[in-house]
Every structure is written in C-alpha cells, then in structure tokens.
Chain A
Amino acid sequence: MEPIRKDEFDSQACGSLTPKTKPCPRPKPGEAAGGCSFDGAQITLLPIMDAAHLVHGPIACAGNSWESRGTLTSGPSLSQYGFATDLNNTDIIFGGEKKLKESIDYIAGRFAPPAIFVYATCVTALIGEDMDAVCKEASGRLGLPVIPVNAPGFVGSKNLGNRLAGDALLQYVIGTGEPEKEVPLGVNLIGEYNIAGEMWDIEKLMNSAGITLMSRITGDARYKEITWAHRAKVNMVVCSRALLGLAKEMEKRYHIPFFEGSFYGAKETTYSLRQMAFLMNDREMERRVDRLTEREEARLIQDLRPYRKLLKGKKAVLYTGGVKSWSIISALKELGVQVVGVGTNKSTDDDVRRIADRVGDDTEYIPEGGASRIIKTVRDRKADIMIAGGRNMYVAMKEQIPFIDINQERHKAYAGYEGLLRLAKELTYSLTNPIWRLASSPAPWDKEEPPYDR
C-alpha cells in the first residue's frame, strides 16, 4: 500500500470523508487503550457474512480476534472463519506478497466466496507490502472482487478504522451491482451490525410498516446486496458517526438523502421510522408508519409499567463507545433511569452535543478511560448501576456494582420497542439480584450482633 503520510491524515482530519469534524482523539501513551484501526475496520466489514475476511499479517491480529464478535448470521458463516497469512520472520524480511497471493487463491478455490476482503496490519503496512496491487491482480485473474482494506492498527483509533472500511466499500463495492427487480421504497441501514440479532428486530419493524430493507451495511449482510446499495431511496445512519462519511458521499454521488437515527428507546425508534417514511416522500407510507408506531408505543407503555415502577429514579453510569454514547441515554430516560455519568472518550463533538441535549447539567462527563475513573464516578454520584462493555465488566463485579454489558459480547438485543422491554428486564434483574445483598453485607462473624442465639 501507499505509505501513510502524516500530513495527509492531519489535513484530512481522521478519515477522508468527514473533513469538517475534529480529528479522532489520539490515544495517550501509557493508558489502557481501546482497539486499533484494524480492529475498527474488521468490525465494520466482518458482518458481511458470506465474504471471506483475510488478515494479512502476523498471527497477533488474527489469532487474537477471530470468532469473537457477537454479530449474528441468518445463513452463511464464512465470515466467522479466521483466515490469516500468519507472516513469520522470513516473510518480514523477504516480503509476504507471494504468500498473500497464494492465500487468496486458496480461499477462492476452496471456499468460493462472493468476495474476499484483505486487511492490512501494522506489519504489512510497515514493510511496505503492495497489497492493492496483489488484490487487483487477483481480482482480474480470479474474476472475483478482492478488496484491500488499508487500515493498519497504528494509523489510529477504532473509529478511524470504521471510516476507512467505509471508504473501501465506496471504492470497491457500492455501485458495482444491480438488484434483480426495482425496489421503489428501499432503505439502507448503515452502521448496524446485528449484535445479538438487533438488526432482525429492526427489520421486522420496518417490514411491518412496508419498508424494504435494501442493503444492510453491514449487519447480517450478503456481499451482493451491498453492491446495489446505491439504488436505495433513503440512507439511515444508525447511531454514531463511524460511517457518516459513507452516507454523505452516497448523497453526493447518488443523491440519496440520509439521516442519523437510533433504535434505542421508543421515541428514537418512532422518530427513525417516521424519518424514513418522510424522506421517501410517500403519503401512504407515512400513514402506515404512524399507525404502527402508535400501536407499538401504546403496547409498550402497558408492558413497561411494572418495570418503570422499579427503575424510576435509579441512577446509571454509562461508559460505551461512540455507537451508543447518546442513543442509549434516551432509552434509559424512558425507563425512568437517570444517567449521572457518561463516557465521552470515543465521542465526536457532535456526539457530545447530542449527549448534552439528553442529559441534565449535573451529569459528569468521563473523558478518559481507566477503570478507576469510571468507578469513581459511580461512587461520587451514588449510581445504582454501571452500563459498559466487556473489559470494564469485571471491574464492576469486583466493586459489587450491578452491571449490564452493552457492547459487542452481549447476547441481548436492545433495539426497537421490544428491545426496550428487554433492556428494562435486564436492568431490573441486574439491580434486584439477591447476590448484591449477600455481596455487600459482612460475613456473620464480622457483624456486631451474634448471627444466631447461643
């Protein structure tokens, strides 16, 4: 690949597609940091379930990462295979291009995928492998899209990786295919990865309103459907800004209007569905969506009643990536849970603005990572529960803080109306589990009173 030039990155401010935002915050040396750009790019593309994903690099990047994401598939599972060139010492010295070519050939021959994504890693970028050329040559020879993803870890954060993956889709995938029949009212979902099957809930909702899901970018996607994403009438960017650039560029190139929305919480869900109908500019559709959302919201209010009683007035500290930083706040508010602390380390300025719109003035912003920093907020603000990802989960357990996992390892889908119910249920369960009483009360022999009559 082209060597990465520093000035290019600075001037383009973190991803070539979103020139107006401030650069993704750089991690500070000496802290417990989040994922790298390679990781981010993989997260974005791995949910294309029928494609092969080949990691070009030493075993670190692949060996530590394969099979570990909770993005579900409704069919093909090739994407879950860990393919790697596993470069060794000699390859580093003499180059790994031959190995890469052979690996691509092997995958094409043995697994016959509709496309192969090839990921650069720190090492292959540093030793100057010409991945683009190898991919291009293989594409031509095999008659199969072989797509280079140039997001080696060291170029920056996970967020930047998301964006670079979006670049790859724009450059190599979107616009290269046509659907069999024309879909008059199709919507693309961008930035929804089908964690725990969330996308399926959303799809069900859209279908009941008569909206066709054109391309999933990329939760439970098939390669082919992304090739015709340019035929959609509306793009919805689900949460966060990771793939906003993709939507902007599609608006420019294909005149597809886009909006940013979320499916966490009833209000956001209703808003998102309405917005789709509105942008499609179809009166009948708008009416259908209105009927659906009214019905669902009314039912939800009924169903939530017992949970709201318990959750009202509870305080939560939320620490998650950009994807859910602000949207979960709305969902929690609807359940009566107050967010007293919120992580902003992976959020952009816009995210922070959205967070500010949704929380009260005395909510604490947690700009930097580190378990102790989060715990401190929980303690200072007397929060009842912590909502965060897997790496912080076990710290919460040590501190005996009720916890729910909101990131990619979880097995609970929280999107849509039904998702909000599930969230309510999980929160309640976590808060009321008898183990917390047991954990926080001293052992009988530490109590002043004798535990039983002698």
Chain B
Amino acid sequence: MKDHLNIPDHNKLFQTEPYVKQREGKKAFEAPCSEQETAEALAYSKTSEYKDKNFARKSLVVNPHKACQPLGALMASLGFEKTLPFIHGSQGCTAYFRSHLSRHFKEPAPAVSSSMTEDGAVFGGMSNLIDGLENSVALYKPEMVAVSTTCMAEVIGDDLQAFISNARQKGAITEELPVPYANTPSFAGSHITGYDSMLKSIISTLYKRSGIEATPGSGEGTGEKLNVILGFEPYTGNFAEMRKILAAFDTKYTFLGDHSGNFDSPATGEYSYYYGGTKLEDVPKAANALGTLSLQKYSVKKTLEYIEGTWKQQTVSMSAPIGITATDRLVDAISELTGLPIPAELIDERGRVVDALTDSHPYLHGKRTALVGDPDLLIGLIQFCLETGMEPVHIVCSNGDNGFKGEAEALLAASPYGAEATVHIGNDLWHMRSLLIDNPVDLSFGSSHLKYAAKDAGVPLIRVGFPVFDRHHLHRYPVIGYQGTLNLLTTVVNTILQNLDDDSSGFNHDLVR
C-alpha cells in the first residue's frame, strides 16, 4: 500500500528542530552543574580509580543481571503438559514474570497469582491460596497446578503443604489433581535456583503419586529410554536441536521439562492455554530409564541429586554444549549412556562446522571478549571462545557460586587464550561497565541488559542468553550442538565483518572477506 503520509519514525522525529529546541529549553532547570562538570564526572567514571571504588561497593546493586526464583519456577512449570503455574504471594510479581517471559519469547506466558493483600500479611495466605486454587482450576482447567511462592509468602511463613491439603479437604480441588509446590523466596538464589526447586518438586510429586518403584534400565518399554534435561533454557531452538541429535541416534528419550511448546506455539487461529510439555504420565516412568543426561549443571543441582538418590540412576551433566569440544562430549555421553554408535549424520555435520570455523578463524583470532550470563551458559561461551582463538577477558556472573568460579577459572587456566581472564561472581552490570571501559575488549556477549554498558564502552554486543528483549526470534535459533555452534559463529563473525565495513574509510572497503 502506498504510504500517504510521511510520518517520521521515533528517532528521526525527535531530531527535528522544534523538539531539539524544546530539549535545549529544558536544560535551564536540568542539572545544577555545568556541561564541563558533567563531562568531567563522566570522564571520571571511566578511570581506573573509579573502577576500584565501584568494586569496593558492597550494599548497593546497580543494574542487576539476575531475576528471582519464582520466575524460574514459572518456566519449569510450563515444561509440563497442561500445567498451570500458580504463584502464591502478592500479585505484582506475577505480572512482572509474565511480561518478562513474553518479551523474551514473544509469546503469551500463562500464570496466575493468589493476589495476597494486607489481609494476607496479617492472617496468612491460606484463604488466598485455597480460593485461588479453586478459581483457577475452574477457569483454566489444568491437569496440574504448580505452586511457587514469592518473598511475601515466605516472609510470613506460609505452610504450603498444609494449605494445599486443606484445600483438598475443603473440596476446593480434587484429590486427583497433582499440586507440586516449591518454596522460592527471591531473597535467596536466582531464577535458576527457582527453576531447580520447581523441577524437582514436579518430578518427585508425580513420582510419589504414581506408586512406581524405580528400577533403572528395566522398566516396561522404558528401560532403554534416556531422560534429558535442558534446565532454565531461554532457547526453544535448543530443544529442537537436542531432538535432532537424539533422533540421529535413533534412541528413545523423555525430556524432563520441555517448555519449548509453550514458548514457540504455532499461530493456528486459536489460542489454547497449554501447548506441548512433558506428558505427566511419562514423568514417573522416567524413573525406569537408562540414565539422565542434563545439559545444565548449575541450574538443576537439586534435581540431579534427587534423580541419583531416589531413582538410583546414572546421571551425566554438562554445561551448555557450545563449540566442537563440548558438543563432542555431549555426543559421546549419549553414545555411552545408550550404548548406541555415533551416527554418521552427526559426524558429517561436525565436519562441516569445523570447516566453517576454519573459514572464519582469521577474523576471530585474538579478539578480546567480555561475557555476561547464567553460569551454565558462561561455561559454554568460555569454551567456545577458547576454541576459536578468542580471548575472554571479563566474565561477570551475578548468580554464580564458588563452584562455578572454580570451574571457569580452571577452564581458562588450561588455555593460553584464557590467560588474561578474570571471573567475577555476585557482581552486576555496573561493575561490567567499569571493566569494559578500564580494560577494553573487542566484543561483548550477553543479554539485552548489557546493551547500555556496551554502548558506553563502544563495544559491539552479541545478544545471547536471557533476556533478549530487543531483538526478534533469536530464541528460535539453537546455540548448542554443532548447528548451534555454527549459528553463534555466524553471528559473531558477521558482526565483526559488519564493524569492519562500518569503520572502513573507502580504500579498505573490501568486497571479498
């Protein structure tokens, strides 16, 4: 359709004269200090003296890079068939979580809240929980309700177990309805801790109710199956990639927690609250599987402990398999757990991706990088960098523990390309800004939240991890496995080439690279 009106976009409109004038006018009462002072302060914020002061900061968090436990719990709940995430506490948190996930996946995120108010603060949240369960079951007809708490319910010390059994006694919900619950206060841990607690609770609840006795590797029709966990996984494409790899092996498997359906559902003309997810009946049967393979470590600790302890199963866990070495380890692990040979298809694919990496390596070699993200993603990215000759310099992990720090440092120490790296746990993006400015790098990897610090420091940002709010569809493209490595490589090398073009001044504006 022909555009009848010339309506300038956002950026251009506000650069036109009347708006520029308005802005100038406003300066009169803006800041009490002069432009020079402002410039000086800005310059000071870029010195190493300031960096040291910034790192001495203890009480305050500036620009956090973590979300809280119930957000992770919500994601875990949506990994199961017809499951309604129910968040017990005051309502605001739930709205935040839904927006957060919607903005990342560009999909609806169903979840309900028990909407506690000050009555709850005084008398406890039992009636809210019971009424909430009754209402939500009537409205959304779930087959399972997964209850997690916010800090409010935790501070007043609500007893979920008792409340839920009271709800059953009162007939608000039936005996048959499974209602796993997890305590997920946001003043401890982060979204990955919440993911873990909820996943464990769902698995153990469904297992207990079923009456099945775990006999690994011997169950009827399930004995030769593999359990696969992807964890707090911001990429729906990673599920698809894993499916592809497992199909190449021709092995049977059960995903324990698969939210890819809910966060990547087709537009059919009819919205349903529930898409895909692990079948509830498959969960207890998973106790009889051959073993459990997990593609995250730090975000499923308790779940893995449970599976080892209660199901007496062999478990293999690794952080995000990004890069050739890490994917090789994944493929080996599947082969070992299932006893199946490594499929030719994957060997070919590996060869092609190795070829691609050799094609691009001249542009990657020696590129200094900064990385921000969840622990498992970071381990994968560090490996990828080291493998391609990029040099990780700054690594910031807000929600990493000492175990992660040790592993990351060991990994870095084993390669000459890791010699300059420092790993920071518990720090935030304002720390990262100081690092980027004080000791510049060529490329940064992280979520959309890093874009401000990256812009301040003049470093290109490769968007990877969670959350990515300002780019579309990235979550559909896997970053794990051979294919995922190729995707990541493509983004990285083309970002570098684009920057070369943007910076070139004519004589070096090359056609072939």
Binding site for B on A (CB under 8 A): 4, 6, 9, 26-39, 50, 54, 57-68, 72, 74-76, 80-89, 91-92, 98-100, 102-103, 106-107, 110, 112, 114, 122-123, 125-127, 152-158, 179-180, 196-197, 200, 203-204, 207, 220, 222, 224-225, 303, 306-307, 370-372, 375, 390-395, 397-400, 409, 411-413, 418, 421-422, 425, 428-429, 432, 439-440
Across the interface, name the chain A residue whose C-beta is closest to B185.
A58
User: CA–CA, A421 to B113, complex, Å?
Assistant: 39
Contact assessment for B91 and A64 in the assembled complex, using a CB-CB cutoff below 8 Å:
no
Is B139 in contact with chain A by the CB < 8 A criterion? yes
Contact assessment for B270 and A398 in the assembled complex, using a CB-CB cutoff below 8 Å:
yes
What residues on B are CB-neighbors of A33 within 8 Å? 91, 94-95, 112-113, 115
User: CA–CA, A48 to B103, complex, Å?
Assistant: 25
B67 to chain A, nearest CB (A): 5
A107 and B60 in contact (CB under 8 A), knowing A64-B93, A197-B10, A440-B269?
yes
User: CA–CA, A4 to B90, complex, Å?
Assistant: 15
Contact assessment for B152 and A63 in the assembled complex, using a CB-CB cutoff below 8 Å:
no
A99 to chain B, nearest CB (A): 4
What are the interface flags for B114-138 relative to A under an 8 Å C-beta threshold, 1 for contact and 0 otherwise? 1111111110000011011111110
Q: Which of B41, B58, B61, B94 contacts A112 (CB 8 A)?
A: B41
Q: Which of B29, B118, B139, B271 contacts A222 (CB 8 A)?
A: B29
B269 to chain A, nearest CB (A): 5
A-B contact pairs, 10 of them (CB 8 A): A30-B136, A60-B68, A60-B186, A103-B59, A123-B187, A154-B152, A224-B30, A370-B139, A409-B103, A429-B1
Across the interface, name the chain A residue whose C-beta is closest to B106.
A394
B485 to chain A, nearest CB (A): 30
Is B32 in contact with chain A by the CB < 8 A criterion? yes
What are the interface flags for B19-32 relative to A under an 8 Å C-beta threshold, 1 for contact and 0 otherwise? 10011001111111
Contact assessment for A390 and B121 in the assembled complex, using a CB-CB cutoff below 8 Å:
no
Contact assessment for A60 and B150 in the assembled complex, using a CB-CB cutoff below 8 Å:
yes
Contact assessment for B155 and A126 in the assembled complex, using a CB-CB cutoff below 8 Å:
yes
Contact assessment for A123 and B30 in the assembled complex, using a CB-CB cutoff below 8 Å:
no
What residues on A are CB-neighbors of B1 within 8 Å? 428-429, 432
Contact assessment for A28 and B135 in the assembled complex, using a CB-CB cutoff below 8 Å:
yes
Contact assessment for A63 and B67 in the assembled complex, using a CB-CB cutoff below 8 Å:
yes
Contact assessment for B5 and A421 in the assembled complex, using a CB-CB cutoff below 8 Å:
yes
Contact assessment for A39 and B92 in the assembled complex, using a CB-CB cutoff below 8 Å:
yes
A378 to chain B, nearest CB (A): 11
A39 and B30 in contact (CB under 8 A), knowing A102-B60, A394-B102, A440-B269?
no
User: CA–CA, A74 to B56, complex, Å?
Assistant: 32
Across the interface, name the chain B residue whose C-beta is closest to A70.
B10
Contact assessment for B135 and A30 in the assembled complex, using a CB-CB cutoff below 8 Å:
yes
Question: Which residues of chain B from 21 to 75 have a CB within 8 Å of any chain A CB?
Answer: 22-23, 26-33, 41, 53-54, 57-64, 66-68, 70-71
What residues on B are CB-neighbors of A31 within 8 Å? 112-113, 115, 135-136, 139
Across the interface, name the chain B residue whose C-beta is closest to A109.
B53
A27 and B10 in contact (CB under 8 A), knowing A58-B151, A86-B61, A224-B29?
no
Q: Which of B19, B30, B95, B107 contacts A394 (CB 8 A)?
A: B107
User: CA–CA, A179 to B28, complex, Å?
Assistant: 11
What residues on B are CB-neighbors of A98 within 8 Å? 59
Contact assessment for B121 and A83 in the assembled complex, using a CB-CB cutoff below 8 Å:
no
Question: Which residues of chain B from 65 to 108 have a CB within 8 Å of any chain A CB?
Answer: 66-68, 70-71, 86, 89-100, 102-103, 106-108
Is B110 in contact with chain A by the CB < 8 A criterion? yes
- Please list the 6 inter-chain residue pairs (A to B) with the smallest Cβ-Cβ separation, ordered nearest first: A36-B92, A30-B135, A29-B132, A60-B186, A30-B132, A30-B136
What residues on A are CB-neighbors of B18 within 8 Å? 204, 207
What residues on B are CB-neighbors of A422 within 8 Å? 7
Total interface residues on B, CB under 8 Å, equals 99
Is B4 in contact with chain A by the CB < 8 A criterion? yes
Contact assessment for B67 and A439 in the assembled complex, using a CB-CB cutoff below 8 Å:
no
User: CA–CA, A197 to B20, complex, Å?
Assistant: 13
Contact assessment for A59 and B61 in the assembled complex, using a CB-CB cutoff below 8 Å:
yes
User: CA–CA, A357 to B86, complex, Å?
Assistant: 38
User: CA–CA, A29 to B132, complex, Å?
Assistant: 4
Is B274 in contact with chain A by the CB < 8 A criterion? no
What residues on A are CB-neighbors of B497 within 8 Å? none
User: CA–CA, A158 to B90, complex, Å?
Assistant: 12
A39 and B139 in contact (CB under 8 A), knowing A59-B64, A76-B31, A82-B63?
no
Contact assessment for B267 and A400 in the assembled complex, using a CB-CB cutoff below 8 Å:
yes
Is B268 in contact with chain A by the CB < 8 A criterion? yes
Contact assessment for A92 and B156 in the assembled complex, using a CB-CB cutoff below 8 Å:
no
Contact assessment for B113 and A32 in the assembled complex, using a CB-CB cutoff below 8 Å:
yes
Interface centre among B27, B62, B94, B128 (most CB of A within 10 A): B62
What are the interface flags for B448-472 relative to A under an 8 Å C-beta threshold, 1 for contact and 0 otherwise? 0100100000000000000001000
Interface centre among B7, B27, B103 (most CB of A within 10 A): B7
Contact assessment for A153 and B92 in the assembled complex, using a CB-CB cutoff below 8 Å:
yes
Q: Which of B30, B103, B119 contacts A390 (CB 8 A)?
A: B103
Contact assessment for A87 and B187 in the assembled complex, using a CB-CB cutoff below 8 Å:
yes
Q: Which of B33, B93, B98, B190 contacts A32 (CB 8 A)?
A: B98
A300 to chain B, nearest CB (A): 11
Across the interface, name the chain A residue whose C-beta is closest to B155.
A126
What residues on B are CB-neighbors of A102 within 8 Å? 58-60
Question: Which residues of chain B from 351 to 371 have a CB within 8 Å of any chain A CB?
Answer: none
Q: Which of A9, A390, A395 contacts B99 (CB 8 A)?
A: A390
What residues on A are CB-neighbors of B54 within 8 Å? 110
User: CA–CA, A390 to B186, complex, Å?
Assistant: 25
User: CA–CA, A7 to B119, complex, Å?
Assistant: 10
Contact assessment for A122 and B151 in the assembled complex, using a CB-CB cutoff below 8 Å:
yes
Contact assessment for A58 and B117 in the assembled complex, using a CB-CB cutoff below 8 Å:
no
User: CA–CA, A37 to B430, complex, Å?
Assistant: 27
Contact assessment for A222 and B92 in the assembled complex, using a CB-CB cutoff below 8 Å:
no
Taking A33-B113, A82-B63, A222-B29 as known contacts, 20 extra A-B pairs with beta carbons closer than 8 A to each other, sorted by chain A number, are: A4-B121, A9-B118, A32-B98, A58-B151, A58-B187, A62-B61, A74-B22, A75-B31, A81-B63, A84-B61, A92-B187, A153-B93, A303-B4, A370-B139, A371-B271, A375-B271, A391-B98, A394-B107, A395-B271, A409-B103
Is B188 in contact with chain A by the CB < 8 A criterion? yes
Contact assessment for A34 and B91 in the assembled complex, using a CB-CB cutoff below 8 Å:
yes
User: CA–CA, A306 to B112, complex, Å?
Assistant: 44
Contact assessment for A122 and B89 in the assembled complex, using a CB-CB cutoff below 8 Å:
yes
Across the interface, name the chain A residue whose C-beta is closest to B430.
A81
Q: Which of B3, B29, B151 contacts A60 (CB 8 A)?
A: B151
Contact assessment for B5 and A89 in the assembled complex, using a CB-CB cutoff below 8 Å:
no
Is B161 in contact with chain A by the CB < 8 A criterion? no
Is B240 in contact with chain A by the CB < 8 A criterion? no
Across the interface, name the chain A residue whose C-beta is closest to B98.
A391
What are the interface flags for B228-259 relative to A under an 8 Å C-beta threshold, 1 for contact and 0 otherwise? 00000000000000000000000000000000
